[in-house]
């Protein structure tokens, strides 16, 4: 079987091959974590405007009930992750490092935690718009980490059309296995989600891209796929950042998305497999986005696991459930080691976009001395969007940000491949992030000044 798969392996140009370190949780089945004493639900868990509370302190709410409404098209609904009482609506620590408005919920210890208004939703009689409206009500965002509201991505602009629906099951970040376990344990929900979204988008066919370090999942998906479903499983070379939308589109369809354009501009929509699985459950059970699969891993956690965690569960509670941290933990990340965000506080909540929690020790994290660029061009060979990170790094160090714009810095997707291969330990991607923020702020000031 491996030989037959190997003849059809696809990929994109450039990229890197970091060790994947997935063995820590590779074989650990998804395990549901208990409801803790307190859940903290930030009103900002997605790109766009924050949700607005529709409950008040003292209200008794049910699991799956709306507690925050969307405040615009690019916004998202928020639901109670458990049945219980609203104890506060105030400022709490957020994984971004900010302090944001949050709804605090105390789960009822004697409640059976039955889903509020559980029902099957008859999507076959719905129009595409009605399906997308239902996804919007469900509060779905991209579960791969971007947290972009899913209903916005599914709404095809006037004059555009979708031919291909790509399901991103790549999970190219080292250490993480939440998508892999969903492929093995949630294939029914995934295929139902694919069928519903094909109708919503009017797409001809779906492709599920899976890397070759998940051969058992590829075989299982092919065996379980409904015969009537226009869908193909596409084996992909194990390479980073294969899961980026532009890289996945190039690998699966051999279509290049031009600079500054989106997948919809080449008649493609991409969704993470966790999002697709969750949408399947939304229509099967009426369950909005109130929990998600999270890989808890790394050498610094005593019991690495793949957990099904209620949104709003505090990181400290997850750490305690997993047996605690080792004594030499140096860094805690939300996400993987390539694009994850370091956490300063441990009382932050698990959010809709939290795909993994990584605990690194002083063996993996230590100061590296930076040396001058030796023009080896490894970063140029690694960059998946064909930028010149060496040149951009020099401009960033000299704070020549306007010049960086001319060298297409805004096309950088901050994957970190350049920093990973740099023998001089130059923090290229960190400098690029700063430059992009400053350029966006400058553009905003210019726009405001023009008005």
pTM of this structure: 0.93
Could you report the per-residue pLDDT of 27-68, keeping only the tens digit for each?
999 999 999 999 999 999 999 999 999 999 999 999 999 999
* Intervals of the chain under pLDDT 70: 1-8, 450-451
Q: How far apart are CA 148 and CA 270, in angstroms?
A: 12
Quote the crossing angle between the two packed helices 428-450 and 389-397, to the nearest 10°. 70
pLDDT value, residue 371:
95
Q: How far apart are CA 188 and CA 190, in angstroms?
A: 5
Reduce the DSSP state of residue 332 to 3 states and report it: strand
CA-CA distances (angstroms) from residue 121 to 130, 188, 281, 285, 434? 11, 16, 10, 7, 45
Q: Of 405, 374, 378, 376, which is closest to residue 392 (Cα–Cα)?
A: 405
Residues 6+ apart with CB under 8 A from 330: 300, 360, 361, 362, 364, 365, 366
The DSSP 8-state label assigned to residue 131 in this structure reads H
Hey, what are 106's tokens? 């105390």
Q: DSSP per residue over 377-423, as a string?
A: -HHHHH-TT---HHHHHHHHHTT-HHHHHHTTGGG-----HHHHH-T
Q: DSSP per residue over 210-270, as a string?
A: EEGGGHHHHHHHHHHS-TTS-EEEEEE-S-BTTTSHHHHHHHHH--PPPTT--GGGGTEEE
Q: Answer positive or negative: Cα dihedral of 81, 168, 335, 185.
A: positive
pLDDT value, residue 409:
94
């Amino acid at each position: 079987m491996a030989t037959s798969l190997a003849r059809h392996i696809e990929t994109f140009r450039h990229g890197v091959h970091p060790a994947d370190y997935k063995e820590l949780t590779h074989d650990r089945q998804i395990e549901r974590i208990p409801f803790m004493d307190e859940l903290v639900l930030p009103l900002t868990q997605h790109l766009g405007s924050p949700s607005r509370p529709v409950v008040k302190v003292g209200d008794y709410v049910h699991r799956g009930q709306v507690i925050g409404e969307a405040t615009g098209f690019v916004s998202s609904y928020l639901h109670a992750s458990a049945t219980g009482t609203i104890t506060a609506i105030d400022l709490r620590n957020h994984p971004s490092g900010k302090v944001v408005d949050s709804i605090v919920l105390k789960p009822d210890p004697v409640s059976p935690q039955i889903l509020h208004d559980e029902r099957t939703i008859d999507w076959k009689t719905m129009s595409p718009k009605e399906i997308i409206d239902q996804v919007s009500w469900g509060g779905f965002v991209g579960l791969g980490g971007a947290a972009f509201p899913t209903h916005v991505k599914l709404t095809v602009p006037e004059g555009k059309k979708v031919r291909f629906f790509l399901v991103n099951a790549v999970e190219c970040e080292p250490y993480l296995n939440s998508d892999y376990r969903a492929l093995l344990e949630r294939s029914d929900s995934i295929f139902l989600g694919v069928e519903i979204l094909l109708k919503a988008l009017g797409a001809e066919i779906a492709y599920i891209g899976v890397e070759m370090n998940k051969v058992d999942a590829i075989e299982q998906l092919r065996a379980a796929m409904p015969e009537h479903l226009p869908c193909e499983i596409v084996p992909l070379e194990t390479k980073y950042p294969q899961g980026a939308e532009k890289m996945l589109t190039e690998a699966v369809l051999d279509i290049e998305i031009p600079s500054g354009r989106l997948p919809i501009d080449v008649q493609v929509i991409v969704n993470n497999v966790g999002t697709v699985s969750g949408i399947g459950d939304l229509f099967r059970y009426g369950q909005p986005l109130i929990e998600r699969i999270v890989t808890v891993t790394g050498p610094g956690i005593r019991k690495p696991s793949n957990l099904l965690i209620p949104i709003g569960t505090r990181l400290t509670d997850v750490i305690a459930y997993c047996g605690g941290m080792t004594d030499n933990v140096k860094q805690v990340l939300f996400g993987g080691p390539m694009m994850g965000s370091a956490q300063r506080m441990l009382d932050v909540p698990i959010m809709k976009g939290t795909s993994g929690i990584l605990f690194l020790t002083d063996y993996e994290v230590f100061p590296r001395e930076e040396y001058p660029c030796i023009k080896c061009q490894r970063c140029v060979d690694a960059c998946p969007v064909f930028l010149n990170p060496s040149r951009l790094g020099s401009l960033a160090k000299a704070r020549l940000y306007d010049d960086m714009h001319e060298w297409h810095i805004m096309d950088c997707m901050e994957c970190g491949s350049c920093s990973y291969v740099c023998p001089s330990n130059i923090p290229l991607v960190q400098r690029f992030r700063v430059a992009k923020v400053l350029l966006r702020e400058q553009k905003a000031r210019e726009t405001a000044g023009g008005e």
